Amino acid sequence: MKVKARIKLTTTRGRVEFLKEFKDIDSFNNYKEGQLNTHTLHIKYSLLYENEKMYTPAKTEYNSDRSLRKVKVNKVNDMTNLIQSKSRNNNIALLGNKLISLSITPSIIRKFNKFMDNKPVTNTEKKTIKSLMLFEKLSISQYQLLKDIEERVNRRKLIKQ
């Protein structure tokens, strides 16, 4: 019995949606298992059996590999930024137990310009810092990126020749 499947694959690189036809339900299950054992985070599908007029309700199955689930953690961070942007005062955020200001002020720009002059900062880090200074307000993840760069650079030692 032929089976048509409407499939949505979410991989580490993005989302793909397509229709595919299988000769029977076993070949579809083999295909699904093969996808879940490789690079797919989850697969959402609905089936249309031969001589039927409607697809079955959509089902979602997730990959059991924990290393791929780290990608989902990033989506949780995006949700905190979404909550941040919808709050009343979205210039202020709570990060851990600290209340931080996400506004880019001239004093912060001067601080990072001075920081880049006195410390051994790579060109890519300089470009990242300069690109973040163009915004009026940072997201929490952008703020965290700035702090990570600052921490990384502070651990380095300047070698004078």
pLDDT digits (tens, 9 = 90+) for 83-99: 555 666 667 776 777 77
Q: Cα(first)–Cα(last) distance of the chain, in Å?
A: 76
pLDDT at 44: 92
Contact at 8 Å (CB) between 119 and 112?
no
Amino acid (one-letter) located at 44:
K
Say what the pTM is: 0.44
139 pLDDT more than 70? yes
25 pLDDT more than 60: yes
Average pLDDT for 15-43: 87
**How far, in whole angstroms, is CA 49 from its chain's centroid?**
36
**Average pLDDT over every residue of 114-142:** 86
Residues 51, 71 contacting (CB under 8 angstroms): no
Query: Per-residue confidence at 82, pLDDT binned at 50, 70, 90?
Result: low
Q: How many CB atoms lie under 10 A from the CB of residue 126?
A: 13
Residue type, 152: R
Highest mean pLDDT of the ranges 65-69, 94-98, 113-117, 147-151: 147-151
Mean pLDDT confidence for 142-155: 89
pLDDT band at 76 (very low <50, low <70, confident <90, very high): low
Q: Spell out the domain ranges in the chain.
A: 3-64, 69-155
Task: Yes or no: say if 4 and 48 are a contact pair by the CB < 8 Å rule.
Answer: yes
Rounded to an integer, the average pLDDT of 122-142 is: 86
